[in-house]
Amino acid sequence: MQVTLVIPLRIDPDRPVSDLDRFVALGLPSLDRCMAEGFVRELLVISPEEDVAACQRALAGASRFPIRVIEEARIQPGIAQDRGWHKQQILKLAVASQVATTWYITLDADVLCTRRVDEAFLFPDGKAIWQRERADLHWKWWTTSQQVLGCGLDLEDGTPMFGVTPALLHGPSVMALTAFLSGKHPEGDWARMLLDRKKEVWTEYSLYWTYLLMQGLTGQYYSTSPNTPYARHSVWSKDELSTLSQAVLDDLFAGNASHAFMVFQSNMEQSLASTVKLLCPYLGNRPGPTLCEAWTWHRHAWRYRLRKLLRPLRNRLTVQ
């Protein structure tokens, strides 16, 4: 069996660190180090039109498995001009039409692979591992997803439900979900329907899991194994970062860990150079940042700070 890796990447000048730079510095080396030989069919990178060329340059020859950069408009043309978190969620579903394998793994720029990953780990009994979260942790996601899909499920606070990125998705089921959603829009535009309802609080995974529950397919595709896609004790906040110890890192990257990935949250505004120095001992042959890398990262950070300083002025001019 092979899997496809999927990641949306956008070079956002309004963020202190470029997602592309973060992925090239951390995420990609971790995948290259940990993914079993021949297990990855390809890495699909989804980018807006203006970032495609930069992604292709930065990723050319950067990994031992094939990398294909796809423009967002090719996957879902109707939302190419939209921005934001909900668009990214839609793209993680829409990309199923471009995936050549039965299963694909969704990633973000702040996700790192932590141990050797192969078919035996991700599909221990022929079924995929998944991240379990209590339904009451994000109750609104599940109630809204039922409303969008037009179903009623008997859920309790402690019912185990599907987690967040990184996640293993069954491509044919994602395609069936988007076809089902298309039937609920007068023009068959499921993506526009979801964007029009984004204030109702749904996620790509809550829609996906709710659909599988509707069809009675969760037990057919997902395992009862205790293995999980990502570590619950990842680095989610500045408080967790401030207390991060060598022992915790050793545990996160342990070769016998029951998780395959960790999240090192990208919105903590820690410099990328500091993060690379902290994690490079766990990334195989990844050295500390080069002078060229550090210059590129700092240049992006300076542009971000300048835009932040000028934002009030731009807002006043826009109002006038």
Distance between CA 36 and CA 255 in Å, rounded?
Answer: 13
Q: Which residues pair with 67 in a beta bridge?
A: 43
pLDDT at 319 over 60: no
> What is the spatial distance between Cα 65 and Cα 40, in angstroms, rounded to a whole number?
7
**Contact of 161 with 134, CB cutoff 8 Å:** yes
pLDDT of residue 318: 60
Which comes out higher in pLDDT, residue 128 or 266? 128
Query: Contact at 8 Å (CB) between 54 and 73?
Result: no
Q: Is the pLDDT of residue 228 over 60?
A: yes
- Give the pLDDT band of residue 103 (cuts 50, 70, 90): very high
How, if at all, do strands 3-8 and 103-106 pair?
Answer: parallel
Spatial separation of the C-alpha atoms in residues 230 and 252, rounded to whole Å:
10
State residue 275's pLDDT score. Answer: 87
Picking from 22, 82, 100, 200, the residue whose alpha carbon sits closest to that of residue 91 is 82
Residues in the chain: 320
* pLDDT-derived band at 270, boundaries 50, 70, 90: confident
Distance, CA of 28 to CA of 50 (rounded, Å): 22
CA angle 140, 141, 146 (to 5 degrees): 95
In angstroms, the CA 169 to CA 78 distance is: 23
Q: Is residue 216 exposed (0-12), middle (13-18) or buried (19+ Cβ within 10 Å)?
A: exposed
Contacts of 173 (CB under 8 A, 6+ apart): 208, 211, 212, 215, 217, 221
CATH of domain 3-319: 3.90.550
What predicted TM-score, i.e. pTM, was given to this entire model? 0.91
- Whether 316 shows a pLDDT value over 70: the answer reads no
Q: Is 47 exposed, middle or buried (0-12, 13-18, 19+ CB in 10 A)?
A: buried
Q: Domain map of the chain by residue range? A: 3-319
Rounded to 5 degrees, what are φ and ψ at 111?
-100, 135
Longest dimension (CA), the chain: 63
37-51, 120-134, 275-289: range with lowest mean pLDDT: 275-289
| Cα three-residue angle 14-20-23, rounded to 5 degrees | 125
Report whether pLDDT(286) > 90.
no
Q: What are the pLDDT digits (tens) for 175-187?
A: 999 999 999 887 8
pLDDT at 314 over 70: no
Residue with tokens 């021949």: 38
CB of 52 within 8 A of CB of 40? no
305 pLDDT above the threshold of 90: no
Q: Which of 24-38, 194-208, 269-283 has the lowest mean pLDDT?
A: 269-283
pLDDT given at position 266: 78
